[in-house]
Amino acid sequence: MSVKLSVVIPVFNEEENLRPLAQELSAALRPLGLEYEVLWVDDGSADSSPAIIRELCAADPAMRGIFFGRNFGQTAAIAAGARHSRGELVALLDADGQNDPADIPSMLEQMQKGGYDLVSGWRKNRQDARLTRILPSALANWIISRVTGVPLHDYGCTLKIYRSEYLRNLRLYGEMHRFIPAFAASMGARITEHETHHRPRTRGSSKYGLGRTFKVLLDLMTVKFMGSYLSKPIYFFGGWAAALCGLSGLLAAYTAYNKFFHHIFVKDQPLFLVAIFMFIIGALMLMLGLLSEVLIRVYYELNDGAPYHIRSRCGGKE
């Protein structure tokens, strides 16, 4: 029987949360009567999380484990889980116990009834520190929605359900897992939101902080560039080159006009130096665009690597 739903869970030092979460997942998914798997991706945990995952996989054939050789980050863990998942649908879930697995059935129902390709969780009543977590997140969500053109209340909510074709082959790195809805929208995915139950963390320590917001905004610039110019970067750099060289030409023409009609020598006109400088920068932008074109060709033809290394695996139905 083919797997209908894969639940991918990135794990990093969450030994206290894994067993309770596994019980909640079983309680939420078994009554659905569908074939499912739970894929734990250990991101180089230093506590007993790997041992607990192996224990869970041994006890339940629906559970599988992937273990990184070191910590590669949440995005890499999600990418690995998505790539090695077998379900027609893929749900993402945090391991800290704040996402409620009981929301998954209603999200699946909304996806099937509405014909959606992605159902994104919305922690409307979020149980986190307001100053250090909720306010920075609200600002980031507003900026991301405006820049990507995909309006969502909660990009940072890990609890989402995707049709696998929109997730499995994405190349993710940095903090780009939160931009997956924008990537999916660019492929034509139909997206909706679902209010989810968010719980306060009661065990373990948070891995999030203010510093992560800055990284997210930097990655957002990359996402915007990739979304608009990834296939043809020469359009981006060439546009800037044309603008700079055009402005340089206007300044040079103005300098020549002053020389021939107002007898102001070039050496007395600093605008001529500005024109030369802008022309050089424009030429460099053009060369950078051409170089980017070459790199993009190499990427498409040769890049089959992944930003993580899997040390071992366990569990799973054969």
How far apart CA 103 and CA 195 sit, in angstroms, is 9
How far apart CA 210 and CA 61 sit, in angstroms, is 39
pLDDT of residue 225: 66
pLDDT of residue 303: 55
pLDDT of residue 318: 45
Q: pLDDT band at residue 126, thresholds of 50, 70 and 90? A: confident
User: Does the structure show a pLDDT above 90 at 257?
Assistant: no
Mean pLDDT of 11-16: 94
> 195 pairs with which residues across the strands?
122
pLDDT of residue 294: 66
Between 20 and 296, where is the model more confident?
20
How far apart CA 108 and CA 105 sit, in angstroms, is 5
DSSP state of 99: B
How far apart CA 79 and CA 87 sit, in angstroms, is 15
User: Does the structure show a pLDDT above 90 at 53?
Assistant: yes
How far apart CA 141 and CA 43 sit, in angstroms, is 26
Mean pLDDT of 104-113: 96
In terms of DSSP H, where are the helices of the chain?
18-29, 49-59, 74-84, 104-114, 135-148, 180-186, 210-229, 233-262, 270-302
The separation between the first and the last C-alpha atoms of the chain, rounded to the nearest angstrom, is 10
Asked if 182 contacts 139 with a C-beta cutoff of 8 angstroms, the reply is no
How far apart CA 79 and CA 46 sit, in angstroms, is 21
Closest CA to 3 of 107, 108, 118, 86: 86
SS percent in the chain: helix, strand, coil, step 5: 55, 15, 30
pLDDT of residue 300: 52
pLDDT of residue 305: 57
Closest CA to 17 of 112, 82, 95, 127: 95
Mean pLDDT, the chain, as a whole number? 84
Q: What is the pLDDT of residues 231-241, one digit of tens each?
A: 566 677 777 88
Between 258 and 44, where is the model more confident?
44
DSSP state of 198: B
Q: pLDDT band at residue 9, thresholds of 50, 70 and 90? A: very high
User: Does the structure show a pLDDT above 60 at 146?
Assistant: yes
Q: pLDDT band at residue 27, thresholds of 50, 70 and 90? A: very high
Mean pLDDT of 97-112: 95
Largest Cα–Cα separation, the chain? 91
Q: List the chain domain ranges.
A: 5-228, 233-300
The structure tokens 């007395």 sit at: 268
pLDDT of residue 298: 66
121-125, 192-196, 222-226, 299-303, range with greatest mean pLDDT: 192-196
Q: What is the pLDDT of residues 209-218, one digit of tens each?
A: 555 666 666 6
Q: What is the pLDDT of residues 186-230, one digit of tens each?
A: 889 999 999 999 888 777 666 555 556 666 666 677 666 666 655
Asked if 81 contacts 39 with a C-beta cutoff of 8 angstroms, the reply is yes
User: Does the structure show a pLDDT above 50 at 122?
Assistant: yes
pLDDT of residue 44: 94
Here the tokens at position 31 are 């009554």
In the CATH scheme, what is the code of domain 5-228? 3.90.550.10
How far apart CA 306 and CA 77 sit, in angstroms, is 11
Mean pLDDT of 234-253: 83
